[in-house]
Structures are given as structure tokens and as C-alpha cells.
Amino acid sequence: MTGVFKFLVILLGALATAQQQALMDYLERRLLAIEDRITLWHEQTSRYTSELRELKQQIITQLEGMDKNKEALRSELDAVGTRVERVEREMDYLETQNGAQPCVEADDKLVEQQVTVAKEKNKSKYAKLTDCSDMVSSIKGMKILKRVGDTKGMWTKDMGVSNGKVYLFNSTGDDKLYEFSSVREFTSSLGIAEGKTVELSSTWQGMGHAIYNNHLYYVKVNEEIRLVRFDLQKGSVKNSAVFPVENQLPVYTLNSETYIDLAVDEEGLWAIYATKNNEKHVSLAKVDPKTLVVEQMWDTPCPRENAEAAFVVCGTVYVVYNSKLPSRSRIQCVFDVSDMVTNDDAPTVYFPKRYGTHSSLKYSPLDQLIYAWDDGYQILYKLQMKKKLEV
């Protein structure tokens, strides 16, 4: 009995030892597998680290190359900018030295004949309403307020009363306009549609309208060209009249949609137009703002060719020229109804080069500003004045 017990004890000890050995072998195999995986992960991590280091070096090399190219391009652009500025200064100098040739025909005798004809048609001297004797000397400054609407249009304020309101005519023809209570309200708005819409009874055409003493003056073109006076306070047409000129042409070759450009100055309301009878040149008329009767008419020596817009200051019309490929707008021809200013007296004035050509230029005698529309940008130009008789 004692021998059997001993045998069982020995057998159980052998079995326990075998199980422990098997467990140890299993654990050893698992540890070896884990070590193999750790070794693999280490190798992969080392490879990825090496590849990332190489990629970083490549990126650093490329960035250094881009910085060098950037500096080279910047140097080239600076050199080009310097050359462009030099060319512009030379062009300005040459244009200033050459004077306003396009406003004078090649044949001086022909010019004299045209001026003589114009004066014979208007023997009665223009009766000035005010003692205004200012003329434009230069563009003192400019401010770009906004860009809204189409490439062509017009914006202005009431040139007769200082109520602060501004008005926008979008595009070249419509039956409504947009009113803002102030320039600040307009500039802070998101677009034209935020303004008050003023509905008209007929469609206006061109960019030659005017706001004067709470009335809108606009051009209606059908079989005949008619001036319309619209009361902005009552929202109705006050009166209208056929413009007493036959065979009219677009007044500016660069803005063919405008047949009559209405302008306001210290003297009142004017109409700038063109006809086949004097098809190469711009004509001017003084209009009664209440009755729309044309009081007096003049033929000017200012060509229509390459003209983009015009405005009137103290009875002197200033015609602005450009080119079909837009360059720098310039006042290159003037005509004074009182014969106090000639082209020889008036300096050639250049507008700062911006976007394209002006579709409209509206002078305000209240603040001596020009409200301009240039390729959809609404711009203010501040004028520098001098006396007409100043030497």
C-alpha cells in the first residue's frame, strides 16, 4: 500500500513537471513571436523615419528653390514696374508737350471756318445767369467707392439741392432707377437692389441723364428723341418735349448708346448732342429746366471721334477722350459759350488710369466733384479750379 502511494505521488509530480514544461515552452514561443513583431515594427519604424527624413530634405530643397525663384521673379517684376513707370512718365511728358491735337483739324483755315459758322449761328451773346468764372485746372484727387452693376451705367446726386441723395442708373436702358439716402448708405450696401426703386412711366436710354432740383431729366428714344422731366417727389412726369434737332447721332463714338448727354452746372441745364449736319463734332444747347425749351445752341470744334463723355462747368463744356483699346482718359477739348476760354488756354487734363473708359461723367456744382462710372466702378473725382482770366 505504501509502495502504491509513493508511485502515485511520483506520477503526479512527473505530470505536474510535464505541464509546467509545456507551459514554459508555450510562453517562450509567445515571447519569441512578440519579439519578432517588435523587431519588425522597429525595422518598419526605422525605414519610415528614414523615408520621412529624406522627404523632409527634398521638401526643404524644393522650398529653397522656390524662394530663390520667388526672389528672382520679384526682382524681375520690380524691374518691369520701374520700366512701366518710366514709360508712363515719358508718355505723360510727351502728351503734355504735344498738346491737344485731336481737337484741332489739320487745316487751321477749316477750323476758323467752323468756328465762324458756329458764331454766325449764334450771333446773340450768351446771357450768363451767374458770375461763375471758374475753369478746370487739374484732377485734385479721386476715390473709388464701390463696384456694382453693369460695366456701363450712371450715378449722380441732385445737382440743384443738397439733400445728400444719390441715384443710380444701371446699364444703358431701363424703366427704373435706384435711390440711396446718402453716399454712405450706398457704399455700405450689398448692391443696387438695396436702394429704393423708382419706377418710371417709360424707358430711358443711354447714360446722359441728370437730377436737378428734385426732378429727373432723362432721354426717351423712339421714332423721335424726347426729353422727359420727372418729378421725383410726386413720382410722375411733369412734362416732356421733342428735342428740336433732326438726324441725330450718338454724341460719343466710344459710348454709342448716348444720343443726348444732359449736364448741370452753375448756369443750369445743358444738352450735349450731335447731328449729321455737324457729324464730326459735338454740339451744345442750353435748356430751360422747367419748360424743356432749347434757349440757345452752339457748334463746338470738339470731335466726336474717340470721345467717351463730357461735362459742363461754368458754361464751358469739357470733352473727355480715350481710345478703343482703353488707355488714359483725358480732357482734350473745351468750348466756352462766353468765349473766355479756348483750347490754347485750357490745360490737357489726364484722369488717373483705372479700368476702362468712362460711360458717364456728371459734374456737381455744389461740391465740385465728378461722379464717374468706369467699367462698373463708381468713382469720385475732385476737381482743382482756377479763374478763366487767370494768366
Cβ neighbours of residue 256 under 8 Å, at least 6 residues apart? Answer: 250
Spatial distance between the Cα atoms of 303 and 301, rounded to a whole number of angstroms: 6
What is the model's pLDDT at position 229?
97
Distance of CA 8 to the CA centre of its chain: 109
- Strands in 134-147's sheet, in edge-to-edge order, are 134-147, 377-387, 369-374, 358-364
Cβ neighbours of residue 379 under 8 Å, at least 6 residues apart? Answer: 142, 143, 144, 145, 354, 371, 372, 373
What is the model's pLDDT at position 85?
64
In one letter, which amino acid is 263?
A
> Each residue of 217-227: pLDDT tens digit?
999 988 899 99
What does the mean pLDDT of the chain come to?
Answer: 86
Q: How confident is the model at residue 122 (pLDDT cuts 50, 70, 90)?
A: low
Say if residue 105's pLDDT is above 70: no
Q: How confident is the model at residue 114 (pLDDT cuts 50, 70, 90)?
A: very low
> Each residue of 142-199: pLDDT tens digit?
999 999 999 999 999 999 998 999 999 999 999 999 999 999 999 999 989 899 999 9
Spatial distance between the Cα atoms of 221 and 340, rounded to a whole number of angstroms: 35
- CA torsion through residues 281, 287, 293, 296, sign: negative
Phi, psi of 172 (to 5 degrees): -110, 5
Give the mean pLDDT of 26-31. 82
Give the mean pLDDT of 128-132. 86
Spatial distance between the Cα atoms of 301 and 310, rounded to a whole number of angstroms: 14
What percent of the chain is modeled with pLDDT above 70? 87
What is the model's pLDDT at position 390?
52
Q: What is the pTM of this model?
A: 0.71
Cβ pair 136, 318 in contact under 8 A: yes
> Each residue of 317-361: pLDDT tens digit?
999 999 878 888 999 999 999 988 888 878 889 998 777 889 999
- Residue 160 Rama label (left phi>0; alpha psi -120 to 50; beta): alpha
